[in-house]
Amino acid sequence: MKKEKLLMTPGPTMVPHEVLMAEAAPMIHHRTPEYSDLFTQLNKNLQIVFQTKNSVLTYPAVGTGGLEAAVVNFFSPGDQVLVTSIGVFGERVATIAKAFGLKVDKLAMPLGKAVTTELIEERLKTKNYRGIFVTHNETSTGAFNNIKAIGEVIKDKNILFIVDAVSSLGGLELKTDEWGIDVVVTASQKALMASPGLTFLSISDRAFEIAKTSKCPKFYWDVLKAKAAMEKPSPQNPYTPAVSLIRGVNKALELIIEEGLQEVFERHSRLAEATRHAVEALGLKLFATEGARSDVITSIKMPEGIDGEGIKKIMSEKHGVIIAGGQQDLKGKIIRIGHMGYVDEGDLIKTIAALEKALLEVGYTVTLGAGVTAARERL
Amino acid sequence: MKKEKLLMTPGPTMVPHEVLMAEAAPMIHHRTPEYSDLFTQLNKNLQIVFQTKNSVLTYPAVGTGGLEAAVVNFFSPGDQVLVTSIGVFGERVATIAKAFGLKVDKLAMPLGKAVTTELIEERLKTKNYRGIFVTHNETSTGAFNNIKAIGEVIKDKNILFIVDAVSSLGGLELKTDEWGIDVVVTASQKALMASPGLTFLSISDRAFEIAKTSKCPKFYWDVLKAKAAMEKPSPQNPYTPAVSLIRGVNKALELIIEEGLQEVFERHSRLAEATRHAVEALGLKLFATEGARSDVITSIKMPEGIDGEGIKKIMSEKHGVIIAGGQQDLKGKIIRIGHMGYVDEGDLIKTIAALEKALLEVGYTVTLGAGVTAARERL
């Protein structure tokens, strides 16, 4: 039988049927009252899930575009910024910032670790940074940063605080206003459980003020144009919006709000705890350091002699579960299980069962059921 | 009864059910053989519809993003370019090019007219331009430019030829290779009859060579990165692609190829001819100049005392047909009927019938049925 595969990756993630159907509704035009109503609802729902009173802008683009927007709108060539990096996505922000002529100091941690507030404080003593970029959840390693603690360190310091929450928002707690975050970037296809193709930026009043003086060239990503269009009596976009994806993500946000934000975070936390417990019961090691282990993705070290790419392939082809392998230097050395967005306990059990089978099939000794039993103890 | 409205706008346009269903299929991950197969098919289908052997790149963005990509990849700040403008979208290209520091000479025509090869030739004598931008179809006025003739004028002149075919590709004949076009930009939601959120660029070898020397800052739009990812043994994207929209547009391209490109162009031409004939039978005037009238959209002058916005509103609210009004200075003065993409004869008849009714309802004298009869004479 050819059954649809379970998508346990760190994005794109599984999309609820209701969301897919919203995306597939007959097309509407974006200069109509119907669209303005939809866009107004979207903007309100985004504010709830972002936990902010700030405007949240929507762009037809994926998360990398949102990160580029965060670079080009709030800085000018030559501006000194601190980019913290705990993996692939921190590196990407640094690359984008350099491409636009910013002076980038990178604070990179060994893979699997989070950045510490002490290291950030040290750096802040050396220079007057215009901004700091922090990845909330780093899917490439399965580690996450403590955004609240970092927010406290940079509070009152006149440094723009920009958080890449592409893979965390809607999965990990993130209090945009309470934690003093100027710009939060996320995307539709991770914990927000819609199709890829939309990126969102919440922007503080202070950041909008700074945007007026930014000298990086821009048109598509211009936040001031997007804000002006959004604040018209009938909210609009400066150019054609991705109507079907907006309908989808609006439905997904409704589902999240209906479940309750706290309940959603607790579900993610429970699934993550169960995954970690199962991994250890199978005699495997977690890749991310204790205390930095993310609740939306679990990265697992492969034992000596076991190729992660092989495990991934067997899980997909024989057991119908898609997980992710390691990226770049970690390829083959780790596997990554995404448990973000539209994932329930049954999905996780199916995944752990598939992992057990795949491990046995490559000759790694494991008691069949040990992982599943351990997971269920925490579910 | 609340029936779905007929969407006769110049984009987003109506999306075939098969395309919507392709967009709504359960999500897949983009680092899988399944996605690589899809992406390979897409790339082949795009080459057929673009009538090119060049690589056609796909970005998760709308057409404005494609235009920005065409600016930032092939030029450097200070480069002299000629931007022809026959309406809103020509102006937009000029604005983007200026935002990135290009020296822009604008060749603007009165609204409703096409640019002439004579005027272009004159300009080319005055300066050494690095590139020329031409809008194929200008939706804001309903006029189109003769790309073939312009291609002949600039042939062998070492000027990069960039065509904004956002609203024409798949509706109007455009022979990318035969007409010597270096860069063609289009988008998913116009004649390509899929949902908005994808933009495509076909790029000649010469343009890729020039891209290597371009000094405009870029990351998201970088064509060299996109090409490198596409040419891997398993074709990929440099960052997450908009998977669901790619599935949709690939299905739409299949439908176009199945109908036959020439048949598609002839259908558009027939619908346009019928629309123009109906408009004249109703005693109304066409806005675009004879010879420059587009086959994908018809713009109609409103008679003295008749407000186009009112006609648009009545057609939508009372008769279930969504058309477009005038933009900017033309607001109220013209209406625009899109007949691009997934439109058949019945749709057009319904539209003309609704227009007749709306005209009568605002007190304009018209013989009920005159427009419909005239349209049918050409169908």
Q: No. of H helices and E strands in chain B?
A: 13, 15
Q: Quick check: is A130 in a domain?
A: yes
The residue out of B192, B226, B259 marking a domain boundary is B259
Contact A204, A168 (CB under 8 A): no
The answer to whether residues A351 and A209 belong to one domain is no
Contacts of A228 (CB under 8 A, 6+ apart): A238
Q: What is the pLDDT of residue A2?
A: 85
Q: Provide the pLDDT confidence category of residue A325 given band limits of 50, 70 and 90.
A: very high
Q: Quick check: is B43 in a domain?
A: yes
In sign, the C-alpha dihedral spanning A234, A236, A240, A244 is negative
- Interchain contact A197–B (C-beta under 8 A): yes
Distance from C-alpha of A6 to C-alpha of B325, rounded to nearest angstrom: 46
Q: Quick check: is A202 in a domain?
A: yes
The answer to whether residues A244 and A142 belong to one domain is yes
Probe site for chain A from B140, B166, B219, B321 (most A CB atoms < 10 A): B219
The answer to whether residues A134 and A252 belong to one domain is yes
DSSP per-residue string spanning B99-140: HTT-EEEEEE--TTPPPPHHHHHHHHHH---SEEEEESEETT
Return residues 166-195 of B near A (CB < 8 Å): 187, 189, 195
Q: What is the pLDDT of residue A1?
A: 84
Q: Quick check: is A297 in a domain?
A: yes
The residue out of A259, A277, A297 marking a domain boundary is A259
Tokens, residue A322: 């898609």
The domain tally of chain B equals: 2
Probe site for chain A from B28, B29, B83 (most A CB atoms < 10 A): B29
Range of the domain at A355: 6-12+261-377
Tell me the chain B residues in contact with residue A15 when contact means C-beta distances shorter than 8 Å: 26-27, 244
The answer to whether residues A133 and A173 belong to one domain is yes
Contact A18, A193 (CB under 8 A): no
- Interchain contact A216–B (C-beta under 8 A): yes
The answer to whether residues B89 and B34 belong to one domain is yes
The answer to whether residues A238 and A290 belong to one domain is no
* Residue closest to A71 by CA, chosen among A130, A115, A156, A11: A130
Q: What is the pLDDT of residue A20?
A: 98
The answer to whether residues A237 and A334 belong to one domain is no
Read off the pLDDT of residues A39-60 as tens digits, 9 standing for 90 and up.
999 999 999 999 999 999 999 9
Q: What is the pLDDT of residue B2?
A: 85
Read off the pLDDT of residues A206-232 as tens digits, 9 standing for 90 and up.
999 999 999 999 999 999 999 999 999
Distance from C-alpha of B267 to C-alpha of A162, rounded to nearest angstrom: 51
Probe site for chain B from A95, A192, A239, A244 (most B CB atoms < 10 A): A244
CATH number, residue A133 = 3.40.640.10
Asked if B96's CB is within 8 angstroms of A240's CB, the reply is no
Q: Quick check: is B169 in a domain?
A: yes
**Which residue has 């034992």 as its token pair?**
A303
Q: Quick check: is B1 in a domain?
A: no
* Residue closest to A359 by CA, chosen among A317, A316, A310: A310
Bridge partners of B134? B163
The residue out of A220, A235, A259 marking a domain boundary is A259
Q: Provide the pLDDT confidence category of residue A198 given band limits of 50, 70 and 90.
A: very high
Q: What is the pLDDT of residue A341?
A: 98
Distance from C-alpha of A186 to C-alpha of A189, rounded to nearest angstrom: 9
Which is more confident, A321 or B2? A321
The answer to whether residues A214 and A355 belong to one domain is no
Q: Quick check: is A1 in a domain?
A: no
* Residue closest to B139 by CA, chosen among B296, B313, B266, B323: B296
The answer to whether residues B331 and B220 belong to one domain is no
Tell me the chain B residues in contact with residue A91 when contact means C-beta distances shorter than 8 Å: none
DSSP per-residue string spanning B311-377: HHHHHHHTT-EE-EE--GGGTTTEEEEE--SS--HHHHHHHHHHHHHHHHHTT----TTHHHHHHHH
Q: Quick check: is A368 in a domain?
A: yes
The answer to whether residues A57 and A199 belong to one domain is yes
Distance from C-alpha of A373 to C-alpha of A301, rounded to nearest angstrom: 20
Q: Taking CB atoms and an 8 Å cut-off, how many pairs form between chains A and B? A: 174
Distance from C-alpha of B364 to C-alpha of B310, rounded to nearest angstrom: 12
Contact A308, A342 (CB under 8 A): no
> Cα separations (Å) of A254 from A135, A242, A250, B197, B258?
26, 18, 6, 22, 39
Task: Provide, rounded to the nearest whole percent, the portion of chain A with pLDDT above 70.
Answer: 100
CATH number, residue A306 = 3.90.1150.10
Whole-complex ipTM: 0.97
Asked if B219's CB is within 8 angstroms of A68's CB, the reply is yes
| pLDDT beneath 70, residues of chain B | none
The answer to whether residues B296 and B213 belong to one domain is no
Q: At what angle do helices B223-230 and B63-74 cross, to 10 degrees?
A: 100
Distance from C-alpha of A61 to C-alpha of A70, rounded to nearest angstrom: 13
**Mean pLDDT of all residues in A70-75:** 98
Q: What is the pLDDT of residue B1?
A: 85
Tokens, residue B364: 């304009």
The answer to whether residues B149 and B55 belong to one domain is yes
**Do strands A321-322 and A297-301 pair parallel, antiparallel, or not at all (unpaired)?**
unpaired
Read off the pLDDT of residues B257-312 as tens digits, 9 standing for 90 and up.
999 999 999 999 999 999 999 999 999 999 999 999 999 999 999 999 999 999 99
Q: What is the pLDDT of residue B362?
A: 97
Report the 10 Å Cβ neighbour count for B258: 9
